[in-house]
Structure 1
């Protein structure tokens, strides 16, 4: 070994490098410093249903830093669309600042306009009803639509025209179905002078009230709309109309204490003979609620079945262990 070193100069051996404790300390302290810095800031801005953040969001914001929002299409500002990072590292204010735009308010001479959703904002409907002695010309239901950032009605509002002294009671259109037979009996003309006048009694709903169609007298094809008092749900047809036999058709609904309806079980009132055409009066789908007792029985049955299944599994496991 000494001889080989004499022929070729040996490189001096470098001292072993060891990781400095200072470097280790810096690596351990750095995450803590980063966390402390980030804890003195606000996180990502909140998201809303009616507005969006202007610009690209950051992961952290300094105390006092402001952010700005803008309304989504079809919405207008009702509050300031700005928020800032507070000293407690939260955003203020945190609330929706935009609301849906509404279509022009509607009025109907010799009739009334009903907003089922209490507003005429886009995606909501307007329903029209004429006073007694008038009939509707035009669409009975129109919708407030959204196009880009503008709202508009799906059709022109209808008008209420004075009815003739006679009313056509029955189907206005008959079809020959074969074997010398028509699709229904021929209609009749009933009015105020020569034939018996069609009149229905004032509709009274126990635990409910009229919300549309209130008047002193109710003649042929007069339509009324109901709602139940809080804690009750409507069971039956809604609306109902004054039929040619001086009765409400379909039969008057009832208000039952319990939950709201969940599924339809009866045909809509438009299926009944003599109901006005879609362009003359309202077409509504009826809903009836699944009985609360049936729901309780279903839930109890499921729980019992689950308990039996768990017991069987437990016994099988015990037998395998044995």
Structure 2
């Protein structure tokens, strides 16, 4: 007896195994793709003298290389021994780490001015300060800056160098009723002095020189002060009722005449004891007065005993000391 079997059925595929295979392949693909596309460096290194070529925008992936060039106003250090290219690493660092490979450009060497000097350096961004020797003044700009020129690839000074010229003064102003020394000269040198004086008045009262008699050439066409005046300055006779002059006796009192007063016995002085005849023909301060009565020469202040009170206090202490003394 022969047994017969029907056709064999193919084993039934489970949907789960197909899905697992797909997911596994996807994970492998992602694992291979992620390291190449993940942004490893979120910042581009910055340097004072260098800038990145092409202006790359972070973040960048591992393996991304950045090449640097000098900024405007800078040049490569010669001989060049430092790298200028760095690469982003998977851990977010850059290798090799770079150091500044550029240095500032220099402007042309400046010569010191005749009768002057320069302070400063000649590199890009620096400045040169000019000054002159005593007796000379600067003509031109006192400060020059080393700055970018043209298209920015070169550097140059911001202007022309100044010069130091000798300080000279034109003759000072002539004054009415007066003159000054060396008035025939056309120019006066630095620190040269002229002296003013008044001419004879031809009248009963002589002219007084009001102001500074000596002027100094202190700068280019600059005198140390305004010129003085020559005019009649005469003050009235300084009479003091119930008092008298102590010093300054004369018939006429002209500019800057000084007198001193004192009061008669039994009177005290109210005001200043010394007065001066000033430019407007008045006494300064005004003439004092003599007031009847003698002011006390001792002035007591609040809380401070007078001499009489002090004597009483001392006697009291002496009495107490004798009373307490036991031989």
Q: Is TM > 0.5 for Structure 1 vs Structure 2?
A: no
> More helix per residue: 1 or 2?
1
- Structure 1 or 2, whichever has the larger Rg, is 2
> More strand per residue: 1 or 2?
2
TM-score normalised over the length of structure 2: 0.39
